[in-house]
Amino acid sequence: MANEADIRAFLDSGALEAEPVVSVDQNTEPRLPPELMRSLAFPIQPQRLAVLLKRADRKDLASELLVRTLEGYARAQKQSEAQITVGDVSVAELERHSVFNLQLMGQLLENFGSELLNGDLDRILHFIDYACTQPPHEPHQEQGALASLLNIQHESSDTVPTHDWELITTALNLLLSLLEGNPTVTPQTTPMLHVLRAKVEHLRDAPNADVRSLSQEVILVLTAREKQAAPTATNEQPKYVEVYQEALRYLQDPIIPVRAHGLHLLAQLVSKDTRDVSYGNTLDPALLPAIFDIFVNAIQDEESFLYLNAVKGLAQMTAHWRDATLRPLMALYVGGEKTETSMTRALAYGQELSQRETDKRLRIGEAILQVLQHCGEAITPAIDMIVNPLLTGVRNPRFSATLRSSFISILGTCVEFAPTALASSGASNEMVQLCNDLVKMESVPREDMDALVQQQARDCIQEAQLLEATYVTAHAAGLP
C-alpha cells in the first residue's frame, strides 16, 4: 500500500518535468481544451501524472492518490462555498485546485480503469454520496460591499441555480466503475448503496443530459444487482434460473446492446409462447416482482434500443401473467406507483408530471396497447380493470393532454377487441358521452388553440363515432 513518503517522493522527482507531454488520441475528446489547461498553469499536468503512474505499474500509488484527490476536491469545494481561505489562497485558487483534482480523477480512471477502485471502498462511496448530495449553487463572483448592496434588488428566489454537473458526472462514472470492478458489492452487502440509489433517483430528472443518462444506467445496474438475491421456491437449479442470472449479469454491462440482450432474455423468461424460446411455463412466480421492477426501470431509459425491449418485455409479461401483472401495471400507468392507493389518489386529484415521468407513463401505455393486441378477445374478463380507471382519468383536466390522449387511444383499442363486453356493461354508453363532451369542449373556435388540443379533438371525434356504432350494434343484437 502506498504511503505519504511514496507520494511525496514521486511528486518531488524530476521525472514529471523531464517527461515529454503525452499526445492525446485524436479519437478521445479531452475534458479541457489545451489552451485552457495552459492558462490554469497547473504545476503538474494531470494527464502526464496518470500516464507515468501507469507506465511504472504503480496501481497502489495511483489508488491512494485517487482517494486523496477525491478528499482534496471535496475539501476545496467546501472551503470555496463557505468562503474559507487559508493564508494567501483566494477563492479563485480554490476553484483552480478543484479543477485540477477533477481532471486528475478522470485521467487516473481513464488509464487504470475500474481496478483502481479496489482499495478503500467506504471512502470512495462517501465521496460519491457527497457529490450526489451537493445542493445546487451558482459560481461565486467576488464583488465589493457597495456592489453587493446594489445587487440585492436583482436577486430573486425564483432564480434556478446550477449544479456542479461535472462533479456529479464524475461521481456517477466512479460508481459505475466501482460496481463493474466489484461484482460482489450489492445493496445487501453494502447498505450505503441504498442511500446512493435514493439520491441518484432524483438525478434522473436533471437538466443535464449526461447526468440523466448515467443516473438511469446506475439505477438499472443497482436494480439488477439487488435482484440477484431474489428467492426461488425450490432448491433445484432449473434452466430458467441460469437464464435469469445471465440476464442480470448482462444488464450490468456498460455496452448498450449487451444490456438490451439482458432485457430480451427476461422477456423470454416470462413468455409462455411455445413457438419461440420461452421459460414461462416453468418459471417460478416468485421471480415475477423482480423482473417487473427491472422492466419498469428500463422503460425510462433514453436509449430507444433499451426502452423498446423493456416495453416488449412488459407486454409479454402482462399477456402471459395477467393476474399478477395487469393490476400493478395499470396502477403505475395512472398513479405512478404499483398500489391501488396511488391510482385512487391520482384519479381524484390529478398529477403534474415531469417530462421523464410523462414519457414513462406513455411507454407503459404502449405496453398495454401491445397486451390488448396480443390477447385480442381473450382480454374480455379483465376489460373493466383497464376501462374504469381510464374513463375517470380522461375527465380529470389535471392530467396532461398528452396522457389523456394516451388514455383515449387505449379505450379505443378496448372497443376494437371487446365491443360486446363494453356494451353489455354500459361502459360504451359512458364512453360515447364522454367523447362527445370532449369534442364539444375542445371544438370551440379559439385563436390560441394549440396543435395538441386540435389533434386531441379530432381523436375524440373518431373515438366517439366508433363507440356510437358499437353501442347501436349492441342494442340491435338485443343486449342491454
Query: Measured over all CA atoms, what is the biggest interatomic distance in the chain, rounded to whole angstroms?
Result: 97
**DSSP-based three-state secondary structure for 99:** helix
Q: Is the model's pLDDT at 34 over the cut of 90? A: no
Which DSSP helix (H) or strand (E) runs through 410?
helix 401-417
Mean pLDDT of 343-369: 87
Asked, for residue 39, whether it belongs to a domain, the answer is: yes
Same domain, 115 and 186: no
Q: Which of 14-28, 184-198, 260-274, 311-325 has the lowest mean pLDDT?
A: 14-28
Same domain, 178 and 115: no
Query: With bands split at pLDDT 50, 70 and 90, how would you rate the model's confidence at 362?
Result: very high
Q: Is the model's pLDDT at 147 over the cut of 60? A: no
Give per-residue pLDDT as tens, 329-340.
999 999 888 888
Q: Which of 124-138, 167-181, 289-303, 348-362 has the lowest mean pLDDT?
A: 124-138
Asked, for residue 236, whether it belongs to a domain, the answer is: no
Same domain, 84 and 188: no
Asked, for residue 50, whether it belongs to a domain, the answer is: yes
Asked, for residue 434, whether it belongs to a domain, the answer is: no
Model pTM score: 0.69
CA distance 52 to 21: 11
At which of 85, 119, 153 does a domain end? 119
Mean pLDDT of 229-234: 50
Same domain, 22 and 114: yes
Query: With bands split at pLDDT 50, 70 and 90, how would you rate the model's confidence at 471?
Result: low
The phi, psi pair for 351, rounded to 5°, reads -150, 145
Asked, for residue 351, whether it belongs to a domain, the answer is: no
> According to the model, what pLDDT value does residue 460 have?
57
Give 66's Cβ-side CA count (13 Å radius): 34
Mean pLDDT of 148-169: 51
Q: Find, among 280, 298, 452, 432, the residue nearest to 363 by Cα.
A: 298
Asked, for residue 198, whether it belongs to a domain, the answer is: yes
> According to the model, what pLDDT value does residue 37 have?
54
Residue with the bigger pLDDT between 359 and 181: it is 359
Give 334's Cβ-side CA count (13 Å radius): 31
Same domain, 109 and 184: no
Q: Is the model's pLDDT at 145 over the cut of 80? A: no
Percent of residues in the chain assigned helix, strand, coil, to nearest 5: 70, 0, 30
Percent of the chain with pLDDT over 90: 12
Q: Which residues contact 121 (CB under 8 A, 6 or more apart)?
A: 178, 182, 185, 190
Query: With bands split at pLDDT 50, 70 and 90, how would you rate the model's confidence at 156?
Result: very low
Query: With bands split at pLDDT 50, 70 and 90, how would you rate the model's confidence at 118?
Result: low
CA distance 50 to 68: 14
Task: Kindly state the DSSP code that residue 274 receives in the 8-state scheme.
Answer: T
Sign of CA pseudo-dihedral 122, 128, 133, 137 = positive
Same domain, 20 and 114: yes
> According to the model, what pLDDT value does residue 107 have?
83
The one-letter amino acid code at 200 reads: V
Total tally of structural domains belonging to the chain: 2
Q: Is the model's pLDDT at 248 over the cut of 70? A: yes
Q: Is the model's pLDDT at 31 over the cut of 90? A: no
Asked, for residue 273, whether it belongs to a domain, the answer is: no
**DSSP-based three-state secondary structure for 280:** coil
Same domain, 32 and 96: yes
3-state secondary structure 205-241: HCCCHHHHHHHHHHHHHHHHHHHCCCCCCCCCCCHHH
Same domain, 92 and 198: no
Asked, for residue 113, whether it belongs to a domain, the answer is: yes
Q: Is the model's pLDDT at 263 over the cut of 90? A: yes
Same domain, 7 and 112: yes
Query: With bands split at pLDDT 50, 70 and 90, how would you rate the model's confidence at 246?
Result: very high
CB 75 within 8 A of CB 17: no
At which of 80, 104, 119 does a domain end? 119
Give per-residue pLDDT as tens, 379-400.
888 888 899 899 888 888 888 8
Cell of 237: 437449479
CA 36 from chain centre, in angstroms, equals 33
CA distance 414 to 373: 9
CA 263 from chain centre, in angstroms, equals 15
Query: With bands split at pLDDT 50, 70 and 90, how would you rate the model's confidence at 82?
Result: low
Structural domain that includes position 91: 1-119
> According to the model, what pLDDT value does residue 226 have?
86
